Structure 1
Amino acid sequence: MGETDEKITITFMPDNIRAEAHSGELAADAASSAGVRIGRHCGGAGVCGKCRVMAGEENPFAPLTKTEENLLTPEEIEKGVRLSCCAKVIKNGTIHVVDRVKSAGHSILEGFSRNISEWAPDCGGYGVAVDIGTTTVVCYLLALSGNEVVDRISFLNPQVAFGDDVISRIAYSSSQPEALERIQRTLTGEMDKNIGTMAKRNGIFKEDITEIMIAANTVMEHLFAGVSPKSIGHSPYMPEFFLMPPFKASAVGININEAGIVKMIPNVAGYVGADIVAGVAALDMDRQNKIRLLVDIGTNNEIVIGGSEGMFCCATAAGPALEGARIQYGMRASVGAIDKVTLENGLLKCQTIGGEAPKGLCGSGLIDAIALLLNEGIINESGRFEYPEKCRDERFMTRLGRSESGMVRLLLTDEEHPVYLTQKDIREVQLAVGAVKVGVEVMLEQVGITKDKIAEVCLAGAFGNNIDIESAARVGLIPDIERSKIHGVKNTSGLGACLSLASEKFYERTKETAQKMSYVELSSLPDFQKRFVKAMSF
């Protein structure tokens, strides 16, 4: 049943938002048009099952689709649960949103690994440096005359309602004429509100803010500026711009000083952006005479290797699984997420963010669980679970079982708050790990060294700074080298943005840094597939 011109009215609960929709329109599209945020981990591809809604007393939905029958449990179907990316609305009614997108309770990395020391002399007023991640956004308020970061605020990137990863956002922003502006204003509106919050609590006016500095990946910079990233979504993955000239903040709906401008740190390639350039410059990688490896494992994964003699970089699609997408009990790092898994006196222990009852697995907990089970022989090097029928290890034999479909899975928690690790989950992690391993391998070849010759491995971003180093090395997410060489460097993108705002000289330097970074497109390597398959083994 296709979309028609017949208009219907849908009320989204619990926010009580009334929206007009076309009969036959997907519930997800009707929600996004009305500003209702429903989780869309797979960007509406119909594979994650995490955009659940329920009909109210007046059921507006068309009959259940095959995809929904496959992804939803019999209990969910019995209760009237639907997937918003599949369910079409055909008449007036009420929809209760089950998987709501909320900023509260998320673990967001804001801190820096060094102080800001390069302040330009004779600067006045205030500025805001912004690290726009695919999943999270951090804004820093700088007193330029006082040479200090006076405040910071972070929130979930509201664009997650249009998809968890950059590929989903590219697809959405290109899907209909008004989509690009909608996805842009969703972000800039939230930024404007949070900048206002910081101004108010520091006793200043938004008009006192004269400059905004942006560090983001290439797709996020395009979406922020209202430029279509469609060209990045297909070979040769070429962005519409590498460096956007400064423009007025009011042009993107951010209300600061009337003459206030936005500056954006330059990008290197379609999938190596300003966030990485900012980090490389902030860490002085391009100025130090030693080989360092920067790994930023996020929704997208970027790798940079080199030093003052030159640098190489690449990008791999590691993030979706590690951010919860395509993992049956996967979730972002928020309250109730299992972030640490250990074995104590023969008992499996799960630590959750906020100490609350477990709701699911975030990336660090997922890597911990797999590393532990590899060490204990419950998962073999090929990634296959021990068959439950053959397991004789008393610590795990009661936890190993099969789902209704026959898939092997292991219960990580108690049965009151069940969270399982499934065979499919392990395969998803192998895809992510394999991509990262190939990236590191190719980067080492570019500079002509073995992993033991790396002077330092710098782990950037929230995931890299929260994973257990031993677990990450065991599964292959980071090189298995001397542990004293591996360091978490916190939010290097935010640090680079603040340094660029504090000093025009540093901002100009980021342009030089970007020019020194040689990009390698991994998928164009003739033996990429062979390398990738080999790298998937633990």
Structure 2
Amino acid sequence: MEYEKERGFQITFMPGGVTATAAPGSSAADAAAAAGVRIGRHCGGAGVCGKCRVAVKDRDEDPFGPLTETEKKLLTQEEIERGLRLSCCAPIVKNGRVYVVDGAESEGHSILEGFYSGIEEWGEREGFGVAADIGTTTVVCYLLDLRGRRAIDRASFLNPQVPFGDDVISRIAYSSSSNAALRRVQRSLAEEMGKNIRAMAERSGVPRGEIKELVIAGNTVMEHLFAGVSPESIGHSPYSPQFLLKDPFRASDIGMNINERCVVKMLPNVAGYVGADIVAGVAAVGMDVDDKMRLFVDIGTNNEIVIGNGGGMFCCATAAGPALEGARIQYGMRAAEGAIERVFLDNGELACGTIGGGAPAGLCGSGLIDAVALLLDEGVINAGGRFEYPEKCLDGRFAKRLGRDKKGMVRLLLTDEKNPVYLTQKDIREVQLAVGAVKVGTEVMLERAGTTEDGIAEVCLAGAFGNNINVESAVRVGLIPDVSRGKILGVKNSSGLGACMSLASPGFYERTKEAAKKMSYVELSTLPDFQKRFLKAMSF
């Protein structure tokens, strides 16, 4: 045993049969990440989501020490009896074998690839290139024929860094823990992107040697991690990135096996939490050159808001994504097959629609907002975000669905009891936190621009969440302003469009640099009345 302690314990992850070496007392999540085993880390290992479960099926092969207080809190008695543990905090004390329950897989995820308009600006160029939109959760790559002025293929996948943390904060924490961790995070993305680019080239009959350029649009943290630069400084005040615009470099410098001549160009960032993905989107919709006042909102893993026009823009970032992408929601999940994406009344009765049309497996962001909006309208949730007490509910449609869990928390059954998915009181509080942050951001942006909601000519909704959400539900809960619906425009993957236009046209690429300079960043947390604003904004 002493020898094993010195060299580390061997833990095998099933069903893949991958064996990792773990230091005594370390977590299974860290051992899995080091070995390339994909386990969900919705809260980045903070021990609050309970969605990184592994199972011990043979007690003789149990590698863990006693249950931690966090596990006792987050796991049900039934789960404990079934041998389930939380990989983020169960301590490894000996060799063993575990089965991954909550994997982080790419298959079945709904990824936004399309543009709201075509690539309208092309320069005189030869050869081929790739434009990539690197999101915290998903990545989309587009292969362009530069001479022929057309997009010929695209590939999308779950960001392989997700097992190291679902959001940018947890990913900063992991990648900053050691040089080895940073290399691991960087390498995972570079290798996956390289594999997808090579696959696109092969499908399209494009020689890899003809791919001359790779243009990247990502948030500031993703650009740092892609380039192998530590984002640690972004994780604490004053949230300063190591670079806003990085000089071009060769793809081979970061381990991307495309060809030796392929050059990487990354679009400019504005601040630690307003990145090149937003700059690309702003330029793609023309905010940086047009006269009309637009409000650009990207609600995703991070939430960014921009307001303005060609004369100047203000921007900010808020932490809305964790709740809206499944983290901290008891039955929350990403927009993948089986996720409830719509909640509505069908002949007066509560009904749900799932991605893929199959049995419900959980609740994604659009379904979550639908559910809260509907229950607000029906009086089951009040303006303060509190559920009607089950004992006092007089509406038969919902009284039969309202109840309490074993800890006494009020919850409502959204589905049938065969495939139960509940909305809990705690879930509603998480939605209030997310919505409150977005409402404050929008309010401050309007003030800085010297306008009101009536002065907005267009609200541009970017990203997967913004383009899949029910607009009426989003307005009802306060995620977007209550303006004329004709002013609300879904601009789909505007980041990817901006990246493609930057690849297609050197002039547009230069324009993104000017667009970034026109964007004045506002750090909301430093506002003297931020807490007062936030508490007020949490009411529906």
Give me the TM-score of the superposition, normalised by structure 1.
0.98
CA distance in 1, matches of 2:209, 2:13: 36
Report deviation, 1:10: 1.3
Residue of structure 1 aligned with 2:278, choices 276, 279, 297 = 276
- Within 1, Cα distance between the matches of 2:248 and 2:462? 27
C-alpha distance in 2 between matches for 1:467 and 1:359: 19
Conserved? CA contact 1:56–1:93, under 8 Å:
no
Partner of 1:290: 292
| Residue matched to 2:118 | 115
Deviation at 1:89, TM superposition (A): 1.5
Higher mean C-alpha deviation, range 310-319 or range 50-59: 50-59
Give the SS at the match of 1:294. strand
The one-letter amino acid of 1:467's match is: I
> Contact between 2:369 and 2:473, CA under 8 Å: does it hold in 1?
yes
Return the alpha-carbon distance in structure 2 between the equivalents of residues 100 and 17 of structure 1.
14
The equivalences for 1:493-508 within 5 A come to: 493-508=495-510
In structure 1, stretches of 5+ residues that fail to align are none
Alpha-carbon offset, residue 240 of structure 1: 0.4
| Counterpart residue number, 2:146 | 144
SS at match of 2:288: helix
> What letter corresponds to residue 379 of structure 1 in structure 2?
I
Verify: 1:54 aligned to 2:61, yes or no: no
Matches within 5 A, 1:294-373: 294-373=296-375
- Letter of the 2:272 partner, please give it: G
Superposed, 1:58-77 pairs within 5 Å as: 58-77=61-80
Aligned AA (1:252):
I
In the alignment, what sits opposite 1:86? 89
The aligned residue for residue 39 of structure 2 is 38
AA aligned to 2:294 is R
In structure 1, the residue corresponding to 2:97 is in which secondary structure?
strand
Q: Distance in 1 between matches of 2:5 and 2:469?
A: 49
Q: How many residues align?
A: 535
- 1:4 CA drift (Å): 5.1
Is 1:203 the equivalent of 2:190? no
- Structure 1 residue identity aligned to 2:122: W
Q: Distance in 1 between matches of 2:268 and 2:120?
A: 22
- Which structure 2 residues correspond to residues 16-31 of structure 1 after superposition, within 5 A? 16-31=17-32
Q: Assess if the C-alpha contact under 8 Å between 1:6 and 1:23 holds in 2.
A: no
**Deviation per residue, 1:338-365 (Å, 9 max, x gap):** 0000012121110000001000000000
Query: Which amino acid letter does the alignment assign opposite residue 127 of structure 1?
Result: G
Equivalent of 2:108 in 105, 109, 122? 105
Query: SS of the counterpart of 1:201?
Result: helix
Separation in 1, partners of 2:5, 2:316 = 45
Q: Determine whether 1:11 maps to 2:25.
A: no
Distance 1:338 1:4 in 2: 45
Matched, 1:217 2:227: no
Contact 2:160 2:192 in 1 (8 A): yes
- Structure 2 residue matching 1:130: 3-state secondary structure: strand
The alignment status of 1:438 with 2:445, answered yes or no, reads no
Q: Deviation string for 1:423-456 (max 9, x for gaps)?
A: 0000000000000000000000011111011000
Cα contact 2:57–2:83 (8 A) shared by 1: no
> Does the 8 Å contact 2:109/2:335 carry over to 1?
yes
Deviations 1:106-130 (A, max 9, x none): 0000000111121111x11110000
1:182 to 166, 180, 184: 184
1:96 aligns with 2:92: no
Q: 1:239 aligns with which of 241, 244, 254?
A: 241
User: Given that residues 360 and 421 in structure 2 are in contact (C-alpha distance below 8 angstroms), is that contact kept between their aligned partners in structure 1?
Assistant: yes
User: For 1:416-431, what aligned pairs fall within 5 Å after superposition?
Assistant: 416-431=418-433
Give per-residue Cα distances to partners, 1:135-155, cap 9 Å, x unaligned. 000000001111100000100
Aligned residue for 1:396, secondary structure, equals helix
CA distance in 1, matches of 2:114, 2:317: 24
Q: Following the alignment from structure 1 to structure 2, what is the Cα–Cα distance between the partners of residues 171 and 490? A: 30
CA distance in 2, matches of 1:220, 1:48: 23
Q: Counterpart of 1:483?
A: 485
The residue that corresponds to 2:463 in the other structure is 461
Distance (whole Å) between structure 1 residues aligned to residue 91 and residue 191 of structure 2: 29
**Separation of aligned partners in 1, 2:21 and 2:298:** 41
Q: Could you say what secondary structure the match of 2:63 adopts?
A: coil
Does the 8 Å CA contact 2:209/2:261 hold for their aligned counterparts? Answer: no
CA–CA separation in structure 1 for the residues paired with 2:96 and 2:258:
41
**Tell me, what secondary structure is at the counterpart of 1:287?**
coil
Contact 2:326 2:365 in 1 (8 A): yes
> What's the secondary structure of 2:153's corresponding residue?
strand
Give the alignment's TM-score, normalised by structure 2.
Answer: 0.98
Alignment-mate amino acid for residue 93 of structure 1: G
Q: Which is worse superposed, 403-412 or 197-206?
A: 197-206
Question: In percent, how many aligned pairs have the same letter?
Answer: 72
User: 1:512, CA displacement in angstroms?
Assistant: 0.3
Residue aligning to 1:167? 169
Q: Answer yes or no: is the 8 Å Cα contact 1:370–1:426 preserved in 2.
A: yes
- Aligned mates of 1:72, 1:137 — CA distance in 2: 32
Show structure 2 runs of 5+ residues with no match: none
CA deviations over 1:159-194 (Å, ceiling 9, x no partner):
110111000000001112311110111111110111
Q: Which amino acid aligns with 1:326?
A: R
CA distance in 1, matches of 2:223, 2:57: 39
